[in-house]
Amino acid sequence: MKGFIKKTGAVLLSALMLGGTAAALPAVIPESSITVNAEKYGDFEYSQYSFEDDTIILNKYIGKNTTVTVPAKINGKKVVGLDYEAFQDNIIIQNIVIQEGIEFIYSSFSGCKNLKSISIPASVNNIEDAFGGCEKLTTIKVDPNSKYYTCVDGVLYNKNKTCIETVTTGIKTLHVPKSVKNIVYDGQLNYCHKLERITVDPDNTEYTSVDGVLFYKNKRYIWHIPYCLTSMTFPKETTLGKYPFGSAYNLKSIFVEPENKEYYSFDGIMYDKRATKVFFCPQAKTTAEIKGTVKTIKSSVFYNCRNLSYIKIPASVETIDESAFPGCKNLKYVYIPATVKTLGAKSFGYDSNTDKKYNDFTIYGVKGSAAEKYAKDNGFKFVAGTAPKPLTLNKQEMTMGNGETTKLSATVNVLSNKNVKWRTSDSKKLTVDQKGNVKAVRTGTAWITARASNGYEQAYRITVKNVPSKITLTKGVLTIGVGEKYSLGSNVNSGAGCATRTYRTSNSSVVKMTKTNWTGEFVGVKPGVAYVTVRTYNGKEHSCKITVKAAPKSVTISKKNLTLKVGQTATLSCWTNDNSGCAKRTFRTSNSSIVKMTNTNWTGSFKAIKAGTAWVTVRTYNGKESSCKVTVTK
């Protein structure tokens, strides 16, 4: 009964005002009907539904409670139903109890992503698309006296089970009885993150299932793929609908029966029979390489491929349709060849749900090509040239100490690169095994190379120096405040090398380490004293005494007013209140064209650039500030 109520800032009155009766109430109220503004009752907005029997309808819940009871009467008037927007997109409510007497619920709860439970009274006789986007709905309670609805094992049916209204999100297996002729809202199943398979009674005349996938009876169209399904067979009779794979987040491969006249699959990717178009890529894939005969990449082929980090587009491709790669949040870059002449709207770099673009997305390609124009039109970074090699290393160079061991890693981004082999350019200086474990044998320089099975290579440049005789932290004594974060660097003696250095704290209840490799990052937990110690691979150590004091309540800059001539420089210091600690304090200017900062840490040094007024402000790690007014004259 969509269209029963029209929202235009007011609510349409019943056609009964025009002389109708309750029995003659139209399914769709004409747009010319009289409107009134909504009134308020507690946490609800409501309006007149019918003057004939003096009933009202709830238009909007405006409260902030997590548990809500929907009243059946307001000021003595009967509430007959919930409007389309009554709770729509409310992210606060978790539990709903609808009182006896209410008769209909339209798409009143769509988008209520935190709604967990709802109680439906016996009086409700019409539910229409009510729970779309309720991704946490696990409990539906229906009054057992209801003549219109029933809920069995988390599935909400009409009373005679000819229609499935919605499904709770915790369900693992959905069985469709033979009586079901209609499933109202398939999108609700997209939030069933535990759904493993769907079965259908063999006598059902509308639906059937194959290996857990729900089809219409003749297998011509896929109705739903369970969220947890990892592989599926595409039957020979089936053709693609518009978004058949929208919920298949864990599907890793698809096999198309050879007899299918329209499609075939290769390496889990689905093509048309001549391999000129690509139609589907499993969302769980991390890398994908499209066949070199493809000319068109269709819309939504890579829909929500959240794990996809690398895609190889061949030079055969000429067209990439609109929204071909929506929701590929881990695809940080793509190389688009110059052969691509058409790029549809939002084909790359956009979120599938919000349509917001990914700001860290980069397009590689040829200057003057469609790829460059697309990047410019959409505000993406464009780099002329080829994309980074699909085999990447965590570092490009390193300095080790003689006798030191470390482990190297290579990130594989292309499907055919799964097997990586390691080799050394000089085994007298460096040795490496096939797990990337390296040992420094003699001083000098050598390269450790990672080679993928398809020939891609990347190399580490490693310099081996002498064994460290000592290591020194950048500070020996330090005072910080509770909650303040700090990082200590360290240096070994001249001529020595040390690729790995570890940090520890003497008292984690006073100073807690947040990073223990290479740099020692830590945070002050409570007032007291602790020591942070760095250690080399051969046991050399050095410690810093850390005193933790209370967080600052205030900070005072050394001057409140200062006058300078153009070209002059000045330095400001600051101090915090007694018995507080603050190792980091940063300075900034309100106008760098008048006063330009030359030092912003601990003390604030700056230079007068031109006549005018600016403020130099110091800020502690916990947000306390103090400012100096700087007047610059000629």
Distance CA 256, CA 544 (A): 64
Is the pLDDT confidence value at 27 over 60?
A: no
**pLDDT tens by residue, 89-145:** 999 999 999 999 999 998 899 889 999 999 999 999 999 888 888 989 999 999 999
> Which CATH topology does 555-633 take?
Immunoglobulin-like (2.60.40)
**Over the chain, what is the mean pLDDT?**
87
For residue 2, the one-letter residue type is K
Is the pLDDT confidence value at 36 over 80?
A: no
- 8 A C-beta contact, residue 465 and residue 401: yes
What architecture (CATH level 2) is domain 11-147? Alpha-Beta Horseshoe (3.80)
**pLDDT tens by residue, 404-449:** 999 888 877 544 446 788 999 999 999 999 989 999 999 999 989 8
User: Rounded to the nearest 10 degrees, how much is the dihedral formed by the CA atoms of 144, 147, 148, 153?
Assistant: 30
- Residue percentage of the chain with pLDDT more than 70: 91
Q: Taken in order 14, 18, 20, 25, is the CA torsion positive or negative?
A: negative
Q: Which residues contact 324 (CB under 8 A, 6 or more apart)?
A: 297, 298, 299, 300, 301, 302, 344, 347, 348
Distance CA 582, CA 486 (A): 10
Closest C-alpha to 592, from 632, 542, 532? 632
- 8 A C-beta contact, residue 292 and residue 314: yes
- What's the mean pLDDT in 606-610? 97
Q: Which of 321-335, 483-497, 555-569 has the lowest mean pLDDT?
A: 321-335
Could you tell me the two tokens for 227? 């969220």
Q: Do domains 391-463 and 555-633 have the same CATH topology?
A: yes
**pLDDT tens by residue, 498-522:** 998 999 999 999 999 999 987 899 9
If pLDDT is split at 50, 70 and 90, which confidence band does 303 have? confident
Q: Where are the domains of the chain?
A: 11-147, 230-388, 391-463, 471-549, 555-633
CATH 2.40.128.50 applies to domain 471-549: no
391-463 CATH pick, 3.20.20.80, 3.80.10.10, 3.90.198.10, 2.60.40.1080: 2.60.40.1080
Could you tell me the two tokens for 139? 């409990």
- DSSP-derived pairing of the beta strands 117-120 and 95-98: parallel
Which residue in this structure is represented by tokens 């539906």? 140
Q: The whole model's pTM is what?
A: 0.51
Cβ of 33: how many Cβ atoms within 10 Å? 16
- DSSP-derived pairing of the beta strands 405-407 and 437-440: antiparallel
- What's the mean pLDDT in 318-329? 92
Question: Which position has the higher pLDDT, 587 or 264?
Answer: 587
- What's the mean pLDDT in 466-484? 96
CATH of domain 230-388: 3.80.10.10
**pLDDT tens by residue, 178-214:** 999 998 766 678 788 899 999 999 999 999 998 899 9
Q: Which residues contact 354 (CB under 8 A, 6 or more apart)?
A: none
Q: How high is the pLDDT of residue 396?
A: 73
Distance CA 495, CA 590 (A): 45
Is the pLDDT confidence value at 68 over 90?
A: yes
The 3-state secondary structure of 246-263 reads CCCCCCCEEEECCCCCCE
